[in-house]
A and B are shown apart, each in its own frame.
Chain A
């Protein structure tokens, strides 16, 4: 069997059902081997970055490993943003890149790039396959490394001549690496210490991160919170790990988190971090984060422990296993007073915006949340709408909130939603982008049309890079430097690609258009023309503390031309 045939057979052994890719000279042999294979669906994206984000979306929505296949040189370098994105957000993907023939490596050959060198700092691990006899074992190892422990992207570089060489195919049954043994169960001594701290807590808070969803531990986490009566706040990636319809939910914390979750964290006496990494967008100034709290930290990656914030009880292990270990050892806490305090905070400082004649992004997000009841895979892009999606959509299931949180990659949403739609057919997949991010990867509209991928594409168009504009307004004396942006007629654009396009320009149209969008079979694009200037609050400015929190001002969502102050209607929403 040739290397190319071994490659294809190995993917089948790994139960890969879809590959996002783009052919080229260095992988032409692999594409030839793919030609007659029906077990694997190959989706030709319109850009290699799109292929990697699609693989990420597939992985995030399904929990399985995403796969991308691209050619050497520019094909490989175009994957770097997606790989870095997957690295920051611990997304299990394997990226296969073509490479020039072994004897040409280092020769500045046509379409040569040292992709192993380039991606070393942004992959969990990477490989250059130099011998066809090592190919099958390397692929097996790549999937193993990507999906176990703290997941992450793995890159496998495949020289053209190696893929043409022949050997006997034998796929390893299992992987044993003496240098890589992921942690699983928590240390009993540490668990005992945690149980003792939990039993004594009067004002505990669960701070839940994306690791909980990666470990498929949402069920255990929910059981743990309900058994102990501990209120829950989630990070951006933790959204969906705990139902936001539950009274214990406080929504998201951090820079743009709810006022009450940040307040609860500030005054709590015990903080239990579950699969979260004390990111700077969560903590602000680290020495003032949860200053009164003892801290327990459950994480599979030992290097996350005490990296940013020193903790009292670290527990290294798989979140699911550790929670299963802890569950029988904890008892119900009397947190009635604490929960009552939080309830008061929710009533006094709910999330809110003022609705008027013209469309506020918050309103669109709420309309989608209400129309779907949370039964949708929401794929956000990066910027203001991303924060409002975290705030105003009510998440009830894990793996229904997909976003580029760590790297903050604009252009993520459209290709990632396409990947998610290949993984999930049980609920609608809804892509939401600003007009800036949408224009970064809109070439994938062609892929979506070609395969009739049923994504609902929402563009929240304010004609600005809204988050940068907000910072310029608040911190740079309103000097709006290069943030206003021209865009095409998005409805015509959609139609040019053969995708139905809808548009809403006034608030009263929003609910109807959302219904129409959800009722449309196959892909559909909706442009919401929104108010140009609006700010995301609450906000803890970067590097500051809870005490610098700016709650939503009452004159937020200022009247637009054609609106009267008196016509604006205050809308409030509290999570939980």
Chain B
């Protein structure tokens, strides 16, 4: 059996962030999500929303696969009649953000420590009660993972998390 080290480069599985512009029509999300399930492709997250042009929606997909599968995913996305443009951002410099709302059970004693963690991650406290505190965290998926990990030791009551949104970066150089 081949080990990971022997896997040829083009068969290695990578995570890809793909941005799709679609006609803003009824059922567009279903067509994309349905295509992924029909073809058996992995779909880690999918977000959709309006763009600067009201007739166009932008969908951001996070998926995994080797080069051949990613090539097919892009072709199948292009094949959908409502698709205007497909860009695999993975090979470009791009900005990505996720957002999480994290509701934590608090006491008077641990509240300052939680607030300190939130501050380190540049999160925001958007709701507070005697027994709870809700944090808004934004950033890359890794950053959101990290703040959730740091808050885990406290009692997290609920998490709501978006998928990834992403855009190509125009600035060229060090960031």
Residue of A nearest to B23 (CB): A179
Give the chain B neighbours of A303 by CB distance below 8 A: 72, 75-76, 78-79
B81 engages A145 (CB within 8 Å): yes
Q: Are A120 and B72 in contact (CB under 8 A)?
A: no
0/1 string, A180-194, CB within 8 A of B gives 1: 100000000000000
B153 at the interface (CB under 8 A from A): no
| Given A178-B84, A306-B71, A307-B72, CB of A301 within 8 Å of CB of B34 | no
B57-96 vs A: 1/0 string, CB under 8 Å?
Answer: 0000000000010011001101101111000000000000
Interface of B is mostly: helix
Once the chains bind, are A116 and B38 in contact (CB under 8 Å)? no
> Is B30's CB within 8 Å of the partner chain A?
yes
A128 beta carbon closer than 8 Å to chain B:
yes
- Give the residues in chain B near A180, CB-CB below 8 Å: 81
Q: Which residue of B lies closest to A120 (CB)?
A: B34
Q: What are the residues of chain B within 8 A of A120 when measuring CB–CB?
A: 27, 30-31, 34
| A145 to B81 alpha-carbon distance, docked (Å) | 8
Residues of A within 8 A of B171 (CB): none
**Interface status of A488 (Cβ within 8 A of chain B):** no
Complex contact A121–B72 (CB within 8 A): no
CB distance A179 to B75 under 8 Å?
no
Shortest beta-carbon distance, B43 to chain A, in Å?
Answer: 15
Query: Which residues does chain A contribute within 8 Å of B27, judged by CB atoms?
Result: 116-117, 120, 128
Within 8 A of A (CB), among B144-160: none
Across the interface, B26 reaches (CB within 8 A) one of A128, A178, A302, namely: A128
Q: Which residue on B lies nearest to A150, using beta carbons?
A: B79
Q: Nearest chain A CB to B2's CB is how many angstroms away?
A: 15
A54 smallest CB distance to B (angstroms): 26
Query: Digit string of A118-162 for contact with B (CB within 8 Å is 1, else 0)?
Result: 001100110010100000000000000100000000000000000
- Among A177, A301, A306, the residue within 8 A (CB) of B79 is A301
Interface centre among A117, A179, A307 (most CB of B within 10 A): A179
> How far, in angstroms, from A420 to B42 measured CA to CA in the complex?
42
B22 contact set on A, CB distance < 8 A: 179
Say whether, besides A124-B81, A180-B81, A302 and B75 are in contact (CB < 8 Å): yes
Please name all residues of chain B whose beta carbon is closer than 8 Å to the beta carbon of A301 when the two chains form the complex: 79
Residues on A with beta carbons closer than 8 Å to the beta carbon of B34: 120-121
Q: Which chain A residues lie closer than 8 Å to B75 at the CB level?
A: 302-303, 305
Instruction: Determine whether the beta carbon of A179 is less than 8 Å from that of B82.
Output: yes
- Would B30 and A117 count as touching, CB distance under 8 A? yes
Name the CB-closest residue of A to B75: A303
Check if B30 sits within 8 Å of A125, measured CB to CB.
no
- In the bound complex, what is the Cα–Cα distance between A28 and B85 (angstroms)? 41
Assess whether A179 is in contact with B83, with CB atoms less than 8 Å apart: yes
A-B contacts, CB under 8 A, total: 38
Q: How far is the CA of A121 from the CA of B84 in the complex (A)?
A: 19
Interface string of A87-121 (1 = CB under 8 A from B): 00000000000000000000000000000110011
Q: How far is the CB of B85 from chain A (nearest CB, A)?
A: 9
The smallest beta-carbon distance between B72 and chain A, in angstroms, is 6
Residues 11-33 of B, flagged 1 when their CB comes within 8 A of A and 0 if not, give 00000000000110011001100
Q: Which residue of B lies closest to A180 (CB)?
A: B81
Of B30, B75, B78, chain A has the most CB atoms within 10 Å of the CB of B75
Point out the residues of chain B lying under 8 angstroms from A130, CB to CB.
26
CA distance A348 to B72 in the complex (A): 42
Q: B26 near A179 (CB under 8 angstroms)? A: no
Contact of A302 among B30, B35, B78 (CB under 8 A): B78
Contacts of A117 in B (CB 8 A): 27, 30
Within the complex, the shortest CB–CB distance from A75 to chain B, in Å, comes to: 21
A429 to chain B: closest CB distance in Å?
A: 33
Q: Which residue of A lies closest to B37 (CB)?
A: A121
**How far does the Cβ of A159 sit from chain B's closest Cβ, in whole Å?**
13
* Contact of A179 with B72 at beta-carbon distance under 8 Å, contacts A116-B27, A120-B34 already known: no
Cross-chain contact of A125 among B38, B76, B81 (Cβ < 8 A): B81
Residues of A within 8 A of B35 (CB): 121
Instruction: Give every chain A residue within 8 A of B31 (Cβ-Cβ).
Output: 120
Q: Please, which residues of chain B bring their CB within 8 A of the CB of A125?
A: 81
A304 closest partner in B (C-beta): B75
- Bound-state CA distance A145–B35 (Å) is 18
The minimal Cβ–Cβ distance linking A29 to chain B, given in whole angstroms, is 23
Given contacts A117-B27, A117-B30, 10 further A-B contacts (CB under 8 A): A116-B27, A130-B26, A179-B22, A179-B23, A179-B82, A301-B79, A302-B75, A303-B79, A305-B75, A307-B72
Give chain A's interface residues, CB within 8 Å of chain B.
116-117, 120-121, 124-125, 128, 130, 145, 177-180, 301-303, 305-307
29 A–B contact pairs at CB < 8 A?
A: A117-B27, A117-B30, A120-B27, A120-B30, A120-B31, A121-B34, A121-B35, A121-B38, A125-B81, A128-B26, A130-B26, A145-B81, A177-B81, A179-B22, A179-B23, A179-B81, A179-B82, A179-B83, A179-B84, A180-B81, A301-B79, A303-B72, A303-B76, A303-B78, A303-B79, A305-B75, A306-B68, A306-B71, A307-B72
The 8 nearest A-B residue pairs measured at CB: A303-B75, A125-B81, A121-B38, A179-B84, A180-B81, A303-B79, A302-B75, A179-B23
